């Protein structure tokens, strides 16, 4: 009996330790500095819009008791692929890497969300699960269709933590840009990412 109690107690402690493991978010605002990514005719830059989204995600993640780390915090910051990746699994945290981007198209009426993970990367299964979940939620938030695809990107393969890229609309589409600048939309997307992370099995 004593032995059973001891085993049960050990199990209980192990379970509660797993649940109390803090979530950490590495937030990557795509591009920056001279590399502004995509741009529209009005002069809106993908790099600036993504920084707005990154700042919102940082704020709401902290409010939801997550640790955060931004790869860049300024508009004029130039980062190499190496400087914005290379994050390793840390046993003290459940760490995720979220890189934020917007798409572009010659046709300004084209919309749509894209989510990328890399099958070659470590923890690709978790990344795909997370990308699918966020993609589904994004469809409801901006009315765009979402597609999850495999992408062999350096910033994804250099990390050993689950890593995804989120393209939440097109910088060349006026409706998407209006949403991207709207703090209410930034909040909804941030909460969607946070909720999806909490629902994903690490
Ligand atoms: Zn981009």
Residue ranges covered by each domain of the chain = 21-199
From ligand 1's centre to the CA of 156, what distance in Å?
13
Question: With a cut of 50, which residues of the chain have pLDDT below it?
Answer: 15-17
Q: In the prediction, which pLDDT does 19 show?
A: 54
Helices (H), ranges, the chain: 2-20, 46-63, 124-142, 154-157, 174-181, 183-199
From ligand 1's centre to the CA of 36, what distance in Å?
8
From ligand 1's centre to the CA of 201, what distance in Å?
27
| Domain range 21-199, CATH class | alpha beta
Q: In the prediction, which pLDDT does 21 show?
A: 83
From ligand 1's centre to the CA of 103, what distance in Å?
7
Give the C-alpha separation, 144 to 161, whole Å: 28
From ligand 1's centre to the CA of 179, what distance in Å?
17
Q: In the prediction, which pLDDT does 2 show?
A: 61
Structural contact between residues 90 and 158, judged by C-beta atoms closer than 8 angstroms: no
Give the C-alpha separation, 134 to 88, whole Å: 23
**Two tokens at 145?**
């269709």
Q: In the prediction, which pLDDT does 202 show?
A: 86
């Amino acid at each position: 009996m004593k032995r059973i109690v001891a085993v049960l107690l050990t199990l209980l402690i192990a379970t509660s330790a797993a649940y109390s493991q803090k979530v950490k978010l590495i937030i990557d605002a795509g591009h920056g500095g001279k590399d502004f990514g995509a741009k529209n005719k009005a002069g809106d830059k993908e790099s600036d819009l993504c920084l707005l989204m990154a700042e919102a995600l940082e704020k709401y993640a902290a409010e939801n008791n997550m640790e955060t780390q931004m790869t860049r915090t300024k508009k004029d910051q130039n980062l190499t692929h190496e400087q914005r990746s290379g994050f390793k699994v840390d046993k003290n945290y459940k760490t995720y890497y979220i890189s934020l981007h917007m798409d572009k198209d010659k046709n300004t009426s084209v919309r749509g969300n894209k989510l990328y993970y890399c099958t070659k990367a470590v923890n690709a299964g978790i990344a795909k699960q997370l990308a699918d979940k966020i993609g589904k939620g994004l469809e409801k938030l901006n009315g765009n269709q979402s597609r999850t695809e495999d992408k062999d990107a350096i910033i994804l393969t250099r990390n050993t933590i689950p890593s995804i890229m989120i393209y939440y609309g097109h910088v060349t589409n006026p409706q998407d840009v209006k949403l991207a600048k709207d703090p209410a939309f930034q909040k909804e997307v941030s909460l969607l990412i946070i909720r999806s992370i909490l629902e994903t099995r690490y």
